[in-house]
Structures are given as C-alpha cells and as structure tokens.
Amino acid sequence: MHTALRQYLTITGNYWLFTLTDGAIRMLVVLHFYQLGYSPFAIAMLFVFYEFFGIVTNLAGGWMGARLGLNRTMQLGTAVQIGALLMLTVPDAWLTVAYVMIAQALSGIAKDLNKMSAKAGVKMIARQGNAQLFRWVAWITGSKNALKGAGFFLGAVLLAWLGFQGAMAALAAMLVIGFLMTLTLPTGLGAIKKKTSPESIFSREPAINWLSAARVFLFGARDVWFVVALPVFLVSIGWDFHWVGAYLALWVIGYGLVQSIAPRLMASRTTQANVYEGPGANVATGWTFALVLPLAAILAALSLEMTQAWVITAGLAFFGVIFAINSATHSFLILRYSTDDKTSMNVGFYYAANATGRLMGTVLSGFSYQWLGLAGSIGFAMLFVLIAAVLTLRLSALET
C-alpha cells in the first residue's frame, strides 16, 4: 500500500474511534443528567469547560504540532480522552457539577488535539494537488461526523445496557485501540525545523482571519439548537432515550455522508491551465445564505402550529444537507489557504474559532430553550447564520 494512503488510513482510523467516544459522551451526559433532574441550562453548563478548553487547546495545539509533530499531539489527545472517560466511571455521588466539568475540560482538550492533528495531518500527506486534498479532507470530515452520529446512538444504547459508569469504561477500552494505531505514524509528522514563538499561533493572514470569524457563527448557528435544546425538547414531548439517540444519530450520519461526497455534489473549478482549484469563498457565501431557508421554514411551520415531529424531521434534514456542504467547503478552504510551514498553526487557530462558536452555541442552547423554547433557539440560529454569511462576503472580496 502507498505510504501516504497508509498514513491517511491510520489517521482516519484513530479519528473514527475517537469520534465514536466523543459522540457517545455527549449523549450520555445530556441524557443521564436530564434523568437526574438537571435543568437544560445546568446541562449546558456541564459543557462550558469542554468548549472553553477546546479554544485554548487549538491555539496551543497548533504550535505544539509544529514543534513536536502531529503524531505526538494525536497520541496525547487520545491518551487524555481515555483518562477523561475513566474519570466518569466513579459512583453517581461523586459526579458533582464541578467534577463533571473537569472531566469535560479534559475531554475538550483531547478532542481538539485529536481533531487538529488529523486535519493538519491530511494536508501534510496529500501531495497530489487540491483535488486529492478536497476528497481526503471531505472524506475524513464526513465520515467522522457520520460516526459521531453513531456515537450518539451508541451512547444512548450503552446507557440503557451498562449504565453511565459501565458505558464510560467500555468507551475507554475501545479507545485504547485508537492509541495503539497512532504509534505507527512517522515521528515528527508536520513538525517544522525553524523555531516558532507562541505568538505565531495568532494568524495575521486576512483570509484565515475572515474564514475563522465566519466559522464562529456558522457552528454557533448549529449548536444553539442542536446540542441541548433539541434532545431535551424531544424527551419533553414523550420520546424515550433510544428514540432520541437514534434520531440524532441518523441526522449526524446523514450529515456526515453528505459531507463526504461534497466534492461530487459541487461544481469543479479549474484554472486556465486546467488545474483543479476546488470551491472558493463565493461558494461558501452562497451556501451559508442558503441555511436561512430551512430555519425560516421551521419557524413558520411552528407558528402555524403544524405537527411538531414532522416539522422538526423535515427541517432538520434540509438544514443538515446545506450545513454539510458548508462545513466541507470550510474545511477545504482552511487547508488551501495554508502553506505547509503554517498548516498546523493555521488549523489550530481556525478550530479555536470553531470551538468558540460551539461554546457560544452550547451556552445559548440551554439558555434560549429554557426561557424562549425551541423557537427561540432557532431564532438565535438564524441570526448567527446571517452574521456568518456577511463575514464570508468579505472573504469573497479577498479572492477577487
């Protein structure tokens, strides 16, 4: 097997196993603590450290990857996640808000170390131009999200079968396999020889900055209604945990599948020399504006008191397809805009923006649902989509 392909499959395999545990943890914590009587806003607070430390980790992790190698940062992220899982195997009496927030902080550090390492690693091993880069990054991102959906379902099933603590132990054992896989990656993958100062993690390239700013609000728009508001809403109208887990899992799996085939769904762009360039900022702008349509349709249908289950199912499917193409485009653009010597730092900076959007969306998901209901959460999502679209307009201007 070709060396680059073997390395790509190793990175992807670790990322898959990690993503299964990450999705399962999210569903386990939401459902278990709702079952214990926590309010939606209190549940959202459990994830604050997860998202906050994701911001810090992406900034520092990009610099670490440039100094130590992406293989080391991926190994570190996997090991920390195993520790975070084992922390949650203690009895319920120990699972205070502060304790769970600390475990979630470690999980956030682990997730973003792993994510940054995987995405930047693809850039370092894809050497056959933008066409291969777009295919590989779309596949690793899309398949990861499909498996995150499977993780939601896995978490719900393990909660029913093994209980909260047993589920966490099973996930930790699974991730040990992922750690062993990373030991086969070449030492110093993506490391650069010249010294880089910690200050260099903050991007000064306009395209990177505008793309990152748009990413904040793009992912805030998703999480403000998806993370807490939607699963709690579904439980509140009588769905049991299995159905909630299966429903959200199917959505994320479908979302991931669309992401993975995005290069086939989108028109190719080539230079005069017939060199494939992939989607540009104008494509990102158009698809971001398109996200307004499903959100507006859901709000209109809810205002007319149409059947809630039908409205949510159709609207979420429509939103997922458009969002998946958006995310695949963004993931390609950050790598296309990055030179090899700054890939890990640019990717770290960009996914710090991603984590900022998730943090904002997670907190507002609990807050808006508790005080404004599902319609309020979707209203915030529409606002964030419009802000993201305006920011990508500026990115489009830079390419002209």
Q: pLDDT for 66-115, tens place per residue?
A: 677 778 888 998 999 999 999 999 988 888 878 888 898 898 889 888 88
Query: What is the reported pTM?
Result: 0.72
Tell me the one-letter amino acid at 126. Answer: A
Any domain includes 155: yes
Any domain includes 194: no
Q: Which domain holds residue 85?
A: 3-189+200-399
Lowest mean pLDDT among 191-200, 331-340, 376-385: 191-200
Lowest mean pLDDT among 100-104, 313-317, 341-345: 341-345
Lowest mean pLDDT among 104-118, 236-250, 358-372: 236-250
Any domain includes 314: yes
What's the distance, Cα to Cα, between the start and end of the chain in Å? 41
Name the pLDDT band for 270 (thresholds 50, 70, 90). very low
Name the pLDDT band for 281 (thresholds 50, 70, 90). confident
Mean pLDDT taken over the chain: 80
- Tokens for 301, please give them: 């249908």
Name the pLDDT band for 163 (thresholds 50, 70, 90). confident
Give the integer Cα–Cα distance in Å for 154 and 152: 5
- Tokens for 304, please give them: 């007319």
Look up the CATH number of the domain holding residue 359. 1.20.1250.20
Query: Distances from the Cα of 114 to the Cαs of 3, 100, 297, in angstroms?
Result: 21, 21, 36
SS3 316: helix
Beta bridge partners of 270: 276
Any domain includes 195: no
CA atoms within 13 A on the CB side of 374: 22
Q: How many structural domains is the chain composed of?
A: 1
- Beta-carbon count within 10 A of 390 CB: 15
pLDDT digits over 378-398, tens only? 999 999 999 999 999 887 777
User: Vertex 384, ends 383 and 385: CA angle to 5°?
Assistant: 90
Q: Which residue has the higher pLDDT, 64 or 175?
A: 175
Instruction: Compute the average pLDDT of residues 20-24.
Output: 88
